Amino acid sequence: MSGYEVIESHGAPIRAWTRGVPMEHQAVQQLRNVAGLPFIHSHVAVMPDVHFGRGATVGSVIPTKGAIIPAAVGVDIGCGMMAVGTSLTASDLPDSLAPLRSAIERKAPAGNGPGGDFKDAPASSATAFKGGLSARLERIVDKHPKIRGDKALKQLGTLGGGNHFIEVCLDEADRVWVMLHSGSRGTGNLVGTYFIERAREELARRVLGYHVPDRDLAFFLEGEPLFDDYVEAVLWAQDYARANRQLMMDRVLMALRETLPPFQLTKLAVNCHHNYVAQETHFGETVWLTRKGAVRAGDGDLGIIPGSMGAKSFIVRGKGNADSFCTCSHGAGRAMSRAEAKRRFSLEDHVAATAHVECRKDEGVIDETPMAYKDIDAVMAAQSDLVEIVHTLRQVVCVKG
């Protein structure tokens, strides 16, 4: 059975696509906190991968009139996915995928350090940054010097850490795909952290006064100087994140070309955000729509819904469901905290769960083990009226940040 359920709220309605998927009590309370804000338009939509987050719930869609909540957008601004199909098939892959994984790790470094000097990257990528993104960042830093811009170029083309990843996958016809997940790196984090704190300060300073049940729901109002400054900065970070994914994809494809037989790319390529804010029109009003851990799924829009490392992932096409604000989930969603996953699962559990994937099998990734996430099949069943599945992918190589 598809469709949404209604979560009781004293504020705006909450429509949740969560049938058959567990949801924490903490997440429900967060949703009610958001729904109670005075500038919510129509309702709050909840995706089946929903789980507790900072300020606002991951897996929620928040339409606001005349206001934006920086913590709802988050600090990994513009985080999202990219995927491309290739003409390679499973038979073109070597018996051992370890050399391919190592080649990818060299081309697109993980962790929190710099990504090199572009010596092996397409010149157009660095040129585009210097000619467009760089100038925009300079304007932002001039107004807000606490947002350092010195890491932006160095970290472009790098993976980062946490739940970010690069994968080589096979679809239902055994064709090879490359898929990756990353965002706006250290500079985007600085933008988000800085403006979240400024929003808290503004909340305390306003003459009219507003009550919010959580300080992380502090917001900027249209007409305030910091509102425009935040919009400029957040749109920069979203564009940077998209460029970062494109450059990483360029580098990963270089690794494949150096390691595997010659191939071409298919026409299908997807590059989508799932932590961002945009101006959109819904239910007759132009609003600021924040998708926190959610993907645009307008009629015909292509999106990516990854499972955990070792589980299935999906290329999907949106159905344009108006009640969801044309949105779908951004993944399987965590079933437990990182600390709980480390407490509950052993390294042996992780090795067994990822036996079919060339990936890290060490203590440092137990918090990302497949069992720490919700059942991706249940998540997909709960949103069958939001998207249709175009391709089903299974991982054979996974590079984790």
Q: Specify the higher pLDDT residue, 328 or 350.
A: 328
Q: Report domain extents, the chain.
A: 5-335+373-400
The answer, yes or no, to whether residue 347 has pLDDT greater than 80, is: yes
Residue indicated by tokens 């679809």: 171
Condensed to tens digits (0 to 9), the pLDDT of residues 192-212 reads 999 999 999 998 887 666 778
Mean pLDDT of 381-400: 95
Residue 285 to residue 296: CA distance in whole angstroms: 18
**% of the chain at pLDDT higher than 70:** 94
Token pair, residue 367, equals 């918090």
Total-model pTM:
0.92
pLDDT of 337 reads: 82
What is the per-residue pLDDT for 118? 44
CB atoms within 10 A of CB 175: 18
> What does the pLDDT look like over 255-308, one tens digit per residue?
999 999 999 998 778 999 999 999 999 999 999 999 999 999 999 999 999 987
pLDDT higher for 207 or 385?
385
d(CA 254, CA 259): 9
Give the Å distances, CA to CA, from 384 to 1, 311, 328.
9, 19, 10
Residue 387 has pLDDT above 50, yes or no: yes
pLDDT of res. 117: 40
Q: Which residue of the set 330, 350, 356, 391 is catalytic?
A: 330
The two three-digit tokens of residue 145, written as one number: 């010097």
Q: How far apart are CA 10 and CA 173, in angstroms?
A: 49
Amino acid at 225: P
CATH topology of domain 5-335+373-400: tRNA-splicing ligase RtcB (3.90.1860)
Beta partners for 89? 175
Residue 43 has pLDDT above 80, yes or no: yes
Sign of CA dihedral 375, 86, 155, 241: negative
pLDDT recorded at residue 208: 66
pLDDT digit string (tens) for 106-144?
A: 998 886 655 444 445 455 556 656 668 999 999 999 999
**pLDDT tens-digit readout, 49-84:** 999 998 789 999 999 999 999 999 999 999 999 999
Q: What's the pLDDT score for residue 363?
A: 84
Confidence of residue 95 (pLDDT cuts 50, 70, 90): very high
43 in active site: no
The whole-chain average pLDDT of the chain stands at 90
